[in-house]
Amino acid sequence: MYDMFRVLMMGIFTTILTLALTPLVRLLAFKVGATDKPDKRRVNKTIMPTMGGIAIYLSFFIAIFFLQPIALSVSVPLFIAATIIVITGIIDDIKELNPKLKLLGNVAAALVIYFIAEVRMDLVSIPIFGDIHLGIFSFPITIIWILAITNATNLIDGLDGLATGVSIIALGTMAVISFFFLGGSNIPVFIMIFTLICAAVGFLPYNFYPAKIFLGDTGALFLGFMISVLSLYGLKNVTFISLIIPITILGIPITDTIYAMLRRYLNHMPISSADKHHMHHRLMSLGLTHKQTVLTIYGVALIFSLIALLFPMTTIGGTVLILVALVIGLELFVELIGLVGEDRRPLLKTLKKIANKINKRDNP
């Protein structure tokens, strides 16, 4: 039996611990040269310390090992994998790793989760088709899931407080679903999610605009990795609903990643190349301030999260209708802000043609 009041108190202590650790990490970042210098790709105007994710990482695992009732069989493999991710991020924040080496670090952490933690997707249950055992495909699907979510979260870390806030919203939704919809067996997962939220909340005051420290690859990779792994605990035996819930919760980073890849493909650019056409860049180009852009994306992330909360309470038919509406609404939003390009707005152009035809019919 879990003492939820104690879990809550330890969560508050975790937040305080992050608040205390972050200024120390900030000093360390300056000392080791983990800084972001202003350039044409970045929005910061002064040299900013990065590597802030170390504070979240330390406070989370101090809480998991010493304060919260999490079994060592769960916490130790998770710690090993997360440490690989954090070391990869630290090196990248200090000397900018080659993308292949960064990917290698991510893969190594994912392998620990698959083989040591034994957290993986094994079975998919799809309406009409029934249960599908993944067999040998369990390995690549699990690894791809971890890598995709980890790097999608890292990709949106472009404005003060953006990746931290979006991660908190995603984790908060995961916590609600884990506690209220997935039953008592998921209480340890809920506790880990709740503890990570508390650790991230303690960092946000330093990271929100105007930021005193950035997450860096250390923090963005760590948060993305933890979200991917914690969501996997509910995806061991995947149903149609349990698969789309985390995808919907992570709608912002996933959307930004997919459309970035599409945009680069259409513009004949390497998929891994950087540009200034991500969601936050496009919103700022429309006249929103730094803070307004972050708050707007928080709002969109909350909409995704509220939609995700509907899935456990609806039928398959209702789920399909929600998904159709979500896809159409998302495409409209993407085209309105010009995420793929100012001249690539097929849905808006189609709606405009339909509207023109209606106008001609009504006004011959």
Tens-digit pLDDT profile for residues 133-159: 888 999 999 999 999 999 989 888 889
pLDDT score, position 184: 56
Q: Is the peptide bond before 210 cis (omega within 30 degrees of 0)?
A: yes
pLDDT score, position 236: 59
Mean pLDDT score across all residues of the chain: 89
Please give the Cα distance from 309 to 112 (Å, whole number). Answer: 30
Please give the Cα distance from 280 to 288 (Å, whole number). Answer: 9
pLDDT score, position 118: 92
pLDDT score, position 39: 66
Q: pLDDT digit string (tens) for 273-330?
A: 777 778 988 899 889 999 999 999 999 999 999 999 998 888 888 988 999 999 999 9
pLDDT score, position 182: 67
What's the burial of 21, exposed, middle or buried (CB within 10 Å: 0-12/13-18/19+)? buried
Residues 6+ apart with CB under 8 A from 84: 105, 108, 109, 112
Would the annotation count 154 as a binding residue?
Answer: yes
> What's the half-sphere exposure (Cβ side, CA atoms, 13 Å) at 103?
7
Residue 229: inside a domain: yes
Task: DSSP letter for 114, please.
Answer: I
Please give the Cα distance from 203 to 271 (Å, whole number). Answer: 31
Beta-strand pair 123-126/237-239: parallel
Q: Quick one: angle between helices 187-207 and 162-180, nearest 10?
A: 160
Residue 193: inside a domain: yes
Q: Is the distance from CB of 194 to CB of 7 less than 8 angstroms? A: yes
Task: DSSP letter for 289, please.
Answer: -
Residue 47: inside a domain: yes
| CA-wise closest residue to 150 among 213, 73, 231, 206 | 231
Instruction: Give, in degrees to the nearest 5, the angle at Cα 112 between 106 and 117.
Output: 135
User: Using DSSP, how many helices (H) and how many strands (E) does the chain show?
Assistant: 14, 5
Long-range CB contact pairs, 350-353, < 8 A, 24+: none
Residue 290: inside a domain: no
pLDDT score, position 353: 87
Q: Output the tens digit of pLDDT for each of the chain's 364 residues.
A: 578 899 999 999 999 999 999 999 999 999 999 998 876 666 667 889 999 999 999 999 999 999 998 999 999 999 999 999 999 999 999 998 988 999 999 999 999 999 999 998 887 776 666 777 888 999 999 999 999 999 989 888 889 999 999 999 999 999 998 888 766 567 899 999 999 999 999 999 999 999 999 999 999 999 999 999 998 886 655 666 777 888 898 899 999 888 888 888 888 888 767 777 789 888 998 899 999 999 999 999 999 999 999 988 888 889 889 999 999 999 999 999 988 877 888 888 888 888 888 877 767 6
Residues 6+ apart with CB under 8 A from 99: 272
Q: Using only C-alpha atoms, what is the Rg of the chain?
A: 21
Q: Is the distance from CB of 206 to CB of 165 less than 8 angstroms? A: no
Beta-strand pair 48-49/123-126: unpaired
Residue 266: inside a domain: no
Residues 6+ apart with CB under 8 A from 271: 261, 264, 265
pLDDT score, position 89: 97
pLDDT score, position 86: 98
Based on the structure, what is the number of domains in the chain?
Answer: 1
Residue 52: inside a domain: yes
Task: DSSP letter for 250, please.
Answer: T
Please give the Cα distance from 276 to 322 (Å, whole number). Answer: 31
What's the burial of 276, exposed, middle or buried (CB within 10 Å: 0-12/13-18/19+)? middle
State which residues form the domain around 208. 4-244
What's the burial of 96, exposed, middle or buried (CB within 10 Å: 0-12/13-18/19+)? exposed
Residues pairing with 124 in the sheet = 132, 238
SS3 238: strand
Amino acid identity of residue 56, one-letter, is I
Residue 111: inside a domain: yes
pTM: 0.92
Residue 13: inside a domain: yes
pLDDT score, position 40: 62
Task: DSSP letter for 3, please.
Answer: -
pLDDT score, position 289: 94
Please give the Cα distance from 157 to 187 (Å, whole number). Answer: 30
